[in-house]
Amino acid sequence: MLLARYSYTTHSYFYKIIWANKDATCNFGSATMLFEIDAASVLELRCDDGHSKSLVLVQLGWLRAINTMARKLAALALLVALLGCVAHTCQAGYGFPYPLSSPKKSSSLVASTLNYAHYYKTCKGAEKIIRDVVQEEIKRNRGIGAGLIRLFFHDCFVQGCDASVLLDKTPANESTEKFGLPNIGSLRGFEVIDKIKTKLEAKCKGVVSCADIVAFAGRDATYFLSNKKVYFEMPGGRYDGRISSASETLFNLPPPFANITVLEAMFAAKGLNLDEMVTLSGAHTIGISHCSSFGDRLPRNAFDPMAMNPRFANSVTRKCKSASSTVDQDFKTPNKLDNQYYKNVLNHEVLFTSDAALESSKTKRLVKQNLVPNVWETKFKQAMRKMGGIGVKTRANGEIRKNCRLIN
């Protein structure tokens, strides 16, 4: 397994990689990469011009090699791709071109195994318990609602909607999804899921799956963040998965710097079409983002037809004092789930490259369509339901966890 630490500033890079057993140095561009070993056989790679560095954990368990030299060559190739290490700019976010590999195609949607009012007889009132907790938490902090919607998305896109994103590290598995690069330090809502699970276990032990809790919580967060405008039924009956791997997050979760071709391919791999991709992207109308996730968009490139407009770019730049700074994803209506996002796309007032990509010739028509009153809200309900059927586990290959953070 490879672990790395990195930081992003305008001119510097820092990676800390566990695998090496030998010092080495190399020059790349005008910056120096320094490989250093500490007592724990940790290799450090610096691409440094003297700027200060902050640390963010990166987990890249998929890089493996059979010997030290192969590891070294593989890691150097990876780091060149990751860093794009030039003297003046650095790719933020996940930090490398996508896709490094084709996204894993999910098993066909198995909505036939799900049904509405699934717990009516076995745990009556289960959905109300979930809704009440979600409402209480959103009243306390609306950002938690955005976190719950994102948690649902990140769960379904890796291993299917099976609560694999909730699993903690154990001695048997030290590299679960929540510690994957797209998730670590950015996913929220785990404690809310724990709270719901505790209440449900007290009412009807061993009945309600964690996967269904995540799906219902995402549905209810949508309802409350839209000021009760976007409500839909979500079928239940999902079982919890037993497999969770950080390495799978990289190949299955669309990165913030993806172009329209990559986005279309990654959603298609999950059985979602172009319209549904554009519709689900509308969830970026709520929540916050770390500045490191759109560092490729700053400073503004005046020659890029999809660049931020100058006023918005200046505003964001002032707020992004460091890579760890955060900004609202929708600066117009930051606390409301609505279709403002699509206006922002057309006005060049979105953060991610993947947001700006929706202005492409393939999707611009769909963006404009979602500005029609009630159109996006209707399509979002349908897309959320469909996403909730990705890779669903059954009794044959899943379980009902006693603790959402651990397999039974």
Enzyme catalytic residues = 154
Residue 403 has, within 13 A of its CA and on its CB side, a CA count of 6
Angle at Cα 341 formed by Cα 337 and Cα 343, nearest 5°? 130
Residue 163: closest CA among 395, 408, 393, 397: 393
| Residue 192 contacts residue 144 (beta carbons within 8 Å) | yes
CA distance linking residue 216 with residue 134, whole number of Å: 9
| H-type alpha helices, 141-179 | 142-156
Helix/strand/coil for 344: helix
CA distance linking residue 241 with residue 399, whole number of Å: 7
Exposure string for 48-65, b = 16+ CB within 10 A, e = fewer: beeeeeeebebbbbbbee
Q: Which residues are within 8 A (CB) of 6 and not within 5 positions of it... i.e. 6 or more apart?
A: 13, 14, 15, 16, 55, 56, 58, 82, 95
CA distance linking residue 204 with residue 190, whole number of Å: 21
CA distance linking residue 342 with residue 346, whole number of Å: 6
**Cross-strand bridge partners of residue 57:** 5
The single residue listed with the structure tokens 């695998």 is 19
For the beta sheet containing 42-48, the strands, ordered from the edge strand earlier in sequence to the opposite edge, are 13-18, 42-48, 31-37, 24-28
CA distance linking residue 177 with residue 342, whole number of Å: 30
Strand (E) or helix (H) holding 275? helix 274-281
What single letter denotes the amino acid at residue 351? Answer: L
In eight-state DSSP terms, residue 257 is: T
| Residue 295 contacts residue 90 (beta carbons within 8 Å) | yes
